[in-house]
Structure 1
Amino acid sequence: MSDQVKPRLLRALAGETLERPPVWFMRQAGRSLPEYRALREKAGDFLSFCYNPEMAAEATLQPMRRFPLDAAIVFADILLIPQALGQEVWFEAGEGPRLGALPSIEALADQVEASTGRLASIGETLQRVRAELEPERALIGFAGAPWTVATYMIEGRGNKREEARLWAYKHPDQLDALLDVLVESTARYLVMQAKSGAQVLKLFESWSESLAEDVFERIVIGPHTRIIEKVRAAGVDVPFIGLPRGAGAQVSNYAARVPVQAVGLDTQATFKLGQEIQAGGKAIQGALDNLLLLAGTPALEARIDALIEAWNQGPYIFNLGHGVMPSTPVEHLERAIRRVTGK
């Protein structure tokens, strides 16, 4: 693949320093776009939306048609794996995800092999998107990382993370067994995504805050490393981005230990941290505050300029520290992307 058509994102992940960073946004496909809201009204329940390849592909492509973004990320959800493993999952309107009682670890383990087949429609979505997406724009597949997915499975929702951490301390053997199941099912899912057209794979560790060093090692660094090793053993060589959001002082250790090609940085990341990770041979991604994007004040352009000045001396991917807020005005997204791309 020549540099003329090789996606800018893949060039950054290969360690190139580019004249401008590639740009894409977490949750770029979603409620901030009026066309998404119109599509969502036709989709029925949210999970049916995710499993409908035609509609999910359309949602994935909508921001690519509207903005000069360098990458698309498949429209799906991190909680498809628990459902594929047999746990009840549903979404309450205005409240978010809910999960039924955690099945036994043995019951979950029995469903690992079948779980990938139940997620086959995500592969079809990727195939549809790749067929329509221009060759110079990359396609990203993703999964929730094991600890984050486990927190939802344990709590039954995503806003009581202290309960999950307490459960993890009280039931260490069960936690390790649950993480093992999620490592295996996630690796299989990501292999399928790569074989369906994903050129980059991302692990979202959304809830990695408040973890002591030894706990972070056990439930974040270890599982992420094992997933990547399993994906590589299956013959998949696409680059990985890992996002340990909220990890703070643990991020440097993550960057040094986990065999990702890029580390996603959240809003609290310092310029020095990003530069140190780049000096260690890895790309970085992030870390614009999604609330600053929502606010859209003149400070937005100033912060974008500062991030690019600090980090575009090495391999850097422009993104947020978290996902686009649903109420973000489209014009704020346009302003931010124009500031990065000049388009």
Structure 2
Amino acid sequence: MAVDTLRNDRFLRALRREPTDTTPIWVMRQAGRYLPEYRATRAKAGSFMGLATHPEWACEVTLQPLERFDLDAAILFSDILTIPDAMGLGLSFAQGEGPRFERPVRDAAAIERLAVPDMDRELRYVMDAVRLIRRTLDGRVPLIGFSGSPWTLACYMVEGEGSRDFARVKALAWNEPALAHRLLDIVARSVSAYLIAQAHAGAQALMVFDTWGGMLGPGPFREWSLRYMAQVVDAVKADPASRDLPVILFSKGANGHLEAIADTGCDGVGLDWTIDVGEARRRIGDRVALQGNLDPSVLRASPDVVAHEARAVLDAFGHHPGHVFNLGHGITPEVDPESVKVLVDTVHAHGRAIRGG
């Protein structure tokens, strides 16, 4: 990947806990259905996976929010389930029903057949998209690559679809722990290879989405989720292409484990909206940067409320380095794009005020 000079490096500086002129902001699912231009491009692609597997369209929708809003980072448009799809589980998205796997993994034979995907073959479309997006950005803002966490991917792989409680994968972990560990290990090695490949292709930061880690109790979280996120961080930090890239871990609903997440060696900890960001900072200190954590539902309120709540998050964090503003989870399709503009502009303006800029 050719070297380019970043014209806006606030996001990376914040993750390194260096001073910035204002608080950087990006939004989870910032390329999504709330944008009419995204809906138009998806209609051309014919399906979500048609969009995600077409590098030119993936690049187009990745950059769409940056044309509307003064965001400080772009995030690759893709899906967390690309890895199990590349393992041959047969991913599909039914209208209004979410993801499904044709061949879920529910016994020892199925787990033994799994292998780390070939990144240059099964997942080349992702790397092609990363290269194209990085080239098209041309130093405008950093590009974030990402993956689902091993535990979250295993949830879908065993269940075969979304679930309220993911009882099947929990039963596997309780009844056949050695088998569950084999599954999680191969998924962790796949996630590590996937993130490292994105770094080779040009990603400038990496994020792990542990969407379902918070559904586990304290002991199981450490055993089945945290342990394998730490394995991924270790692998990423050991590879020459990715060792200097900041890594953010976001484990939704896992506020009881923030200190342990910070101890994995990651550079940033993502927060959902159910914890005060000031409390999180007091608990973690300045060991890592914090990312978050406005309630996504606030964006459906009036502009005055959006601005007020954004300022409240910034005030709670205070005048310290190491804060990346984000939502506490992904933006929802019902949001008015004008509310996102209010959010972004408020964060930058109030962030400058806090820093005396």
TM-score with structure 1 length normalisation? 0.94
CA distance in 2, matches of 1:340, 1:334: 10
1:117 aligned residue (112, 116, 121): 121
Match of 1:165 in 2: 170
Match of 2:253 in 1: 246
Match of 2:343 in 1: 336
Look up the SS of the partner of 2:11 in the other structure. helix
* AA in 2 matched with 1:48: G
- 1:185 to partner: Cα distance: 0.7
Pair 1:218-2:229 in alignment: no
Contact 2:83 2:117 in 1 (8 A): no
CA distance in 1, matches of 2:6, 2:33: 33
- 1:269 to partner: Cα distance: 1.4
Look up the SS of the partner of 2:214 in the other structure. coil
- 1:296 to partner: Cα distance: 3.4
CA distance in 1, matches of 2:177, 2:120: 27
Contact 2:6 2:142 in 1 (8 A): no
Q: How many residues align?
A: 340
Higher mean C-alpha deviation, range 132-141 or range 55-64? 132-141
Contact 1:116 1:188 in 2 (8 A): no
* Partner deviation per Cα, 1:10-67 (whole Å, 9 max, x = no partner): 1001111323211000000010100000000010222121111000010101011111
Contact 2:63 2:74 in 1 (8 A): yes
Alignment of 1:290-301 (within 5 A): 290-296=296-302, 298-301=304-307
Higher mean C-alpha deviation, range 286-295 or range 114-123? 114-123
Match of 2:150 in 1: 146
* Partner deviation per Cα, 1:208-242 (whole Å, 9 max, x = no partner): 12322221111122111111111222212211000
Contact 1:46 1:91 in 2 (8 A): yes
Alignment of 1:34-183 (within 5 A): 34-103=36-105, 104-109=110-115, 112-114=116-118, 117-163=121-167, 164-183=169-188
CA distance in 2, matches of 1:32, 1:73: 16
- 1:179 to partner: Cα distance: 0.5
Change (3 A) 1:294 1:166: farther
* Partner deviation per Cα, 1:64-85 (whole Å, 9 max, x = no partner): 1111100000000001100101
1:284 aligned residue (286, 290, 301): 290
- 1:159 to partner: Cα distance: 2.4
Structure 1: unaligned runs, 5 residues or longer? none
Match of 1:191 in 2: 196
Change (3 A) 1:297 1:136: closer
Q: Share of identical aligned residues, percent?
A: 36
Look up the SS of the partner of 2:308 in the other structure. helix
Match of 2:355 in 1: none
Change (3 A) 1:174 1:333: same
Q: CA RMSD in A?
A: 2.0
Higher mean C-alpha deviation, range 140-149 or range 213-222? 213-222
CA distance in 1, matches of 2:208, 2:6: 28
Contact 1:150 1:178 in 2 (8 A): yes
Contact 1:243 1:263 in 2 (8 A): yes
Higher mean C-alpha deviation, range 315-324 or range 280-289? 280-289
* AA in 1 matched with 2:156: Y
* AA in 1 matched with 2:216: L
Deviating above 4 A after TM superposition, structure 1's stretches of 4 or more consecutive aligned residues are 1-4
CA distance in 2, matches of 1:75, 1:18: 27
Change (3 A) 1:271 1:54: closer
- 1:115 to partner: Cα distance: 5.2
* AA in 2 matched with 1:341: H
Look up the SS of the partner of 2:190 in the other structure. helix
Match of 1:322 in 2: 329
Pair 1:14-2:21 in alignment: no
- 1:92 to partner: Cα distance: 0.3
Higher mean C-alpha deviation, range 52-61 or range 132-141? 132-141
- 1:154 to partner: Cα distance: 1.2
CA distance in 1, matches of 2:212, 2:117: 27
Contact 1:56 1:75 in 2 (8 A): yes
Look up the SS of the partner of 2:74 in the other structure. strand
- 1:297 to partner: Cα distance: 5.4
TM-score with structure 2 length normalisation? 0.90
Structure 2: unaligned runs, 5 residues or longer? 351-357
* AA in 2 matched with 1:197: G
CA distance in 1, matches of 2:117, 2:56: 26
Look up the SS of the partner of 2:315 in the other structure. helix
- 1:312 to partner: Cα distance: 4.2
CA distance in 1, matches of 2:4, 2:337: 33
- 1:136 to partner: Cα distance: 4.4
